[in-house]
Structure 1
Amino acid sequence: MIDFREKVMGCWLGKAAGGTLGQPYEGCDGPLCLTGYDPVPEDMIPNDDLDLQVLWACILDAMEQPCVDRDVFAAAWLKHVEFPWDEYGVAIRNLRMGIPAPYSGEYDNWFKDGLGAAIRSEIWACLAPANPALAAAYAYEDACVDHAGDGIYAAQFLAAMESAAFSEKRIGELLEVGLSVIPGDCRLARAVRDTIRWCAESSDWLDVRQQILEHWGSENFTDVVMNLPFVVMALLLGKGDFSKTVCIAANCGRDADCTAASAGAILGIIDPTGIGQEWLKPIGRKLILNPGIRGLTHPDTLDEFTDMIVALRKRISLRKESTAATPDFSRYALHAQCGVFSPWFAQDDSRFQPKLPAETKTCKFAGNFGQIAADCIPTDSLYMMRFTFELKESSQVRIMFNTPGNCRVWLDGDYLFGREGGRMAPSFHRCPLNQYKNMQLTAGTHELLVGIAPYGKQKVLEWVFGIGDAKTKQWLTNVKSDN
């Protein structure tokens, strides 16, 4: 009989193997045709999937009375994490502005349904084995710092599944356990049930993948409602074969390292002996973290990390129910002078040079993430918005204005960038071309003028406007907007 420690070790080895398989292909569209590591690694590849779980374990282990508490994790984000990516960057910005969890995960967060919390669910299963409800409660405390909605549900779903996997081998039963801890009518639950049905109808993973993309696809490659069904499909069609399962997950593309890592972790818990040496030998057991985790002394190997988790399980408790006061979000609202410039059409700016019209109104937006109904913008017109902001000190910044619609952007009267529609990825590290510009800005007040118009048949026009550090790609919080 496999003991608890072996299953915990299997979890981390399965996760490391799957993550290392998929990591070179993170963000690709797919499908791929991987049958093993390509390239073959010489060590485990660092991955935030595991980095943050190691951080949580070390923080909890250092506490006299370890408590799984959103406020503990929020403090750790600010002290130890330099990752600027997607929802991580937004949460760090919100926490720096004084917005506590769970509001830090929801406010002004275009990426709140990202995969960032789901990929760090395993620790909660290992600290609450065969107790899915407790594992899901632990996962909530972690996930609510940087996610909301389906982004939290995905973490709870996986934590419950992984917890149940310590005593249950049947994938179908594990999926029902996962579904039992999230709202039945949420998008994630519907996507999972669809995937279960499609896998019952077809054993061809390419066919099922196509169904997932047609019904639940997203332009954001980290979206949970698209990616978690890839994990579900891999587990169902892989039928317990580790190699087949992690390769199906990775070959779906999109967030390939995360999906393969999650699938590998679950099979690693169920049967640690099922992970072949072709997966284990290349990565070894050395624990290597990203340099974006700072100021942390961590275990040197997965074996030492496993021992830490096994010992910690007996010491931890769950945060007692308490609610943070709702912040005054009006403090963070952005105001702009808005009006319609007409006539305008994308083919020729020189004939009708866009400018703010004489008649404007002051519009209030809840934050940097804003939207308006497309029918508010007349045909052959630009909706103009003038924002002002104050930079407290001279800085090398990245100005970002990302929208799927037509846009033109000027700063202090000089044209910066623009495009005729495209994808959204409003994070400073991966914002699309022609949606940002790096520049040296002097301290003082600056004026950003933006013109937007629908592209194609868009019914709602959304955008994210931000000012970040050009080097670190973190949101700047020393910027005072006119509000």
Structure 2
Amino acid sequence: MIRLSWTQPEDLVPHALEAARLDGRDAAAIRDRWTTAGGSTQAPVSGATPRPAPAALRALARDLLAELDTLPDPEALRASEPDEPGAILAFAAPPELPAPGDVEDRVLGAWLGRAAGCLLGKPVEKISLGGIRAIAKSTGNWPLHGYFTERGLDPAVAAAHPWNRRSRPTSLAENIDGMPEDDDLNFPLVALTLLERHGDAFTTDHVAQAWLDLLPGGRVFTAERIAYRNLLDGIEPERARAVRNPFRDWIGAQIRTDLYGWTRPGLPVEAAVLAWTDARLSHGRNGVYGAMFAAAASAAAVTGAPVAAVIEAGLSVVPPNSRYATAIRFGTDLAAGALGDEAAVDALHAQYGHLHWVHVLNNAALLAFALARGDGDLHRTITLAVSGGWDTDSVGATAGAVAGALTGAKALPRKWTDPIDDRYATSVPGFAGVRFTDLAARTLEVSR
């Protein structure tokens, strides 16, 4: 029996009820109808419950998801977290950035840093913060100083905190042979394809068509999987994000948009507009802001700007009173404080631990903390990002991309880049076995 995660109506209702609560939309009556009928309000952590719901409960779930889509947003939410680019960018004032120099080396550094951070986080994706610490300490890798290994791992710790099953064969230190496939690297390939096909005039319709051309449905998750399903159901790209999609404020769009910044060095607002066009297919509000932040920060990073300016560039394209901006400021303030690394991460979890591990806000706060405290050093940045838990491969990837751009490929620590061997194994058509050096050259070509 297949239980497909992130799409089954009975599994989506708890997530949708929680999304409504976080937004301040009144879903009490819908919640009561759901629980009275026997529905659970406990959202499945990995996206799917083990058994299908009875037909009547599943039908009710579909109806309630449609009703939840119609609940009005509070006026204060609409004012502080707009969806349209003009309103989002109304206060955009990026910092002064240096003239881009040595962009070739920085773009390759960004690709390699993204791969290294993602690879470090892959085996411990979905594992709790306590589990990550226990595994690392058991194998003599705490504080993190290398890729995860199961050599020397206490069997009791292994049993209590099992590796991500898809990543264990390819992403532990003893198994790494080039960069294995991951959505955090596949989506930049899609972005590169969009720019090669359409230039910066690509539309959200083009993004939708590229997904259908290049990505099987099983290789997209959370909000992307919902949008993909909606496209197949005949819903236009303009509305695909808005139909039965409780994941619009999750991290998926933030992992897709670094490349737009790499192709617009020193132009964070231009990069953010490209990111908005991409992100709106599947996300809204804070999910879109994450994509815009990542693109704008990347546009600053490939100029070699100081980390503080990189973060400021990212924040400049985010509504200042949004929850996303608050999360970024929380992370940067924590990084500047006196708490040690573990205590600071504990403070992050105390503040944002109520959110799902794939939500954008908790992961954004961790990203900002890792970037600010890592101060451009790849080793420090990706180990801080991954040891903070939550969506380890995604935060590791974005943090690694920024640090890699700031450092440049030539100066990256070989302990992190040598195992990648300049190779990426992907199922995206036209990219099988592609080399990161070739990807960097193609990225530079579309930026001209």
TM-score, normalised to structure 2, is 0.66
Task: Tell me if the contact between 1:166 and 1:270 (Cα under 8 Å) persists in the aligned partners.
Answer: yes
CA contact (8 A) 1:205 1:237 kept: no
Q: Quick check: 2:187–2:255 contact (8 Å CA) kept in 1?
A: no
CA gap of 1:299–1:137, structure 2 versus 1, over 3 A, is farther
Partner of residue 23, structure 1: 122
Query: How far off is 1:202 after superposition?
Result: 2.3
Q: Partners of 1:208 and 1:88 in 2: how far apart?
A: 31
Contact 2:261 2:298 in 1 (8 A): yes
416, 419, 423: which one aligns with 1:286: 423
Q: Which amino acid aligns with 1:37?
A: Y
Deviation at 1:182, TM superposition (A): 0.9
Q: Determine the structure 1 residue equivalent to 2:263.
A: 127
Residues in 1 aligned to 2:146 and 2:178: alpha-carbon distance in whole angstroms: 15
Task: Report the AA paired with residue 127 of structure 1.
Answer: T
SS at match of 1:307: helix
Give 1:8's aligned residue: 107
On the 8 A contact 1:249/1:260 being kept in 2, the answer is yes
Q: Match of 1:105?
A: 241
Bigger radius of gyration among the two = 1
Query: Whole-Å Cα distance in 1 between the matches of residues 210 and 118 of structure 2?
Result: 24
Residue type at the aligned position of 2:440: T
Contact kept, 8 Å, 1:195 with 1:208, in 2: the verdict is no
* SS of equivalent to 1:250: helix
What pairs up with 1:10-89 in 2 under 5 angstroms? Answer: 10-31=109-130, 32=133, 33=142, 34-38=144-148, 39-40=172-173, 41-63=176-198, 67-82=201-216, 83-89=219-225
CA 1:66–1:161 in 2, change beyond 3 Å: closer, same or farther?
A: closer
Equivalent residue for 1:164?
300
| 1:271-310, Cα deviation, whole Å (9 max, x unpaired) | 1144211011111111211x3x4x4456721111111111
Shift of the alpha carbon at 1:9?
0.4
Q: 1:175 to 1:90 in 2, by over 3 A?
A: same
Instruction: Tell me what 2:352 maps to.
Output: 216
Other-structure match for 1:481: none
1:61-108 Cα distance to aligned partner (Å, 9 max, x none): 245x66332110111122221224211210101112232234212332
Partner Cα distance (1:132, 1:213) in 2? 30
Other-structure match for 1:432: none
Q: 1: CA distance between counterparts of 2:185 and 2:230?
A: 23
Q: Secondary structure at the match of 1:117?
A: helix
Letter in 2 for 1:45: P
| Paired-residue identity, % | 28
User: SS where residue 305 of structure 1 aligns?
Assistant: helix
Letter in 2 for 1:76: A
Question: When the two structures are aligned, how many residues end up with a matched partner?
Answer: 310
8 Å Cα contact 2:183/2:220 also seen in 1: no
Indicate conservation of the 8 Å contact 1:242/1:274, yes or no. Answer: no
Unaligned regions of 5+ residues in structure 1, if any? 315-483
Q: Does 1:246 align with 2:345?
A: no
For the 8 Å contact 1:241–1:274, the answer to whether it is kept is: no
In structure 1, C-alpha distance between the alignment counterparts of 2:228 and 2:204, rounded to whole Å: 13
One-letter amino acid of the counterpart of residue 306, structure 1: A
SS across alignment from 2:328: helix
* Superposed CA offset, 1:150-209 (max 9, x none): 110001011111101122432222212111101111111111112222222224122222
Q: What does 1:390-469 correspond to in 2, within 5 Å?
A: none
With a CA cutoff of 8 Å and minimum separation of 6, indicate the structure with the bigger relative contact order.
2
Deviation at 1:113, TM superposition (A): 1.4
Pairing 1:266–2:417 present = no
The AA in structure 1 aligned to 2:282 is: D
Q: Is the 8 A contact 1:203 1:237 kept in 2?
A: no
The AA in structure 2 aligned to 1:286 is R
Does 2:369 align with 1:233? yes
2:244 and 2:385 map into 1 onto residues whose CA distance is 31
CA shift, 1:13, in A, is 0.4
Q: TM (normalized to structure 1)?
A: 0.61
- One-letter amino acid matched to 1:71: D
- 1:136 aligns to what? 272
Measure how far apart 1:248 and its partner are.
0.8
In 1, are the aligned partners of 2:191 and 2:260 still within 8 Å (CA)?
Answer: no
